[in-house]
Amino acid sequence: MPEGMTSGCHAAGIVHLVGAGPGDPDLLTVRARRLIERAEAVVYDRLVAPEILALAPAGALHLDVGKLPGLHRVPQPEINALLVDLARRGLEVVRLKGGDPYIFGRGSEEAEHLHANGIAFDVVPGITSAAGCATAIGVPLTHRGMATGVRYVTGHCQGDAPLDLDWRGLADPATTLVIYMGLAQIARIAAALIEAGLPATMPFAAVQSGTTPRQRHRIGTLAEAGGIAASFEDRGPVLFIVGHVVALADSLAPPRAGAAAGEDRHAVPALA
């Protein structure tokens, strides 16, 4: 424990499961920022932007439990146990997760473990990576006449098991599809969606480190998904968006989504 930490400890600790949003500190909720700025221990994932970590007090414990593809340096059961231990030491703990804690963030698993061990906790929602990244490149996830719904799916299964998704259900041209954690599998995912009925010309976008100064994105078609994904180095999370709404990026992109943000546009077919 850092020197001077004891004076700030509580008789009983608490764990805040906090959504750090897509990366830009300005997109944190007011409550999330307030909790980070007073945290006594910050337990954070790989996807949390350094600009957000910098908001924590200098004397707070900083514990990196981030997972890399195929390399979980701190297995989930150990993270669960760590949160319980920190709270039992009387600390106010902020468990930071990229996006929202309950969307592909294992926040609910940690909440279950905290509840089972009698640890006080709360959950602070965050702007999802899907909403943040899409907006950053000018893509509305729904749009009248183009997309009547949106679906979030994972492109990675536990233990690297083969993806077994409802491809026919996902291949709905009236729905925007957002794929998390799919960098290694996106070529297979695209092929499966095309085989299930989505047009190979369906607009497709890849966004890396969206909303941060490191943002890069490329736009093309579903048939080009594998080649587009291969152009991204492992320097940050990549989110994929499939749907007619991607074609709106040309007219709705904010100024920061230009060449300075690493833009690479292919021709995007108009909605038929």
In angstroms, rounded to a whole number, what is the distance separating the alpha carbons of residues 157 and 18? Answer: 24
Strands 203-208 and 238-242 turn out to be antiparallel
In angstroms, rounded to a whole number, what is the distance separating the alpha carbons of residues 167 and 124? Answer: 32
Strands (E), the chain: 14-19, 41-44, 61-64, 92-97, 120-124, 149-154, 175-180, 203-208, 216-221, 238-242, 263-265
Distances from the Cα of 257 to the Cα of 136, 176, 234, 264, angstroms: 7, 20, 20, 10
Amino acid at 164: D
Q: Is 67 tagged catalytic?
A: yes
Ranges of H-type helices in 122-174: 129-136, 167-170
User: Which residue among the candidates 24, 45, 100, 172 is catalytic per the annotation?
Assistant: 45
In angstroms, rounded to a whole number, what is the distance separating the alpha carbons of residues 221 and 146? Answer: 16
21 sits in the region (left: phi over 0; alpha: psi -120 to 50; else beta) called: left
Give the count of beta carbons closer than 10 Å to the beta carbon of residue 47: 20
User: Which residue among the candidates 24, 146, 172, 181 is catalytic per the annotation?
Assistant: 181
- Let me know: does 116 contact 109? Beta carbons within 8 Å: no
Active site residues per annotation = 45, 67, 181
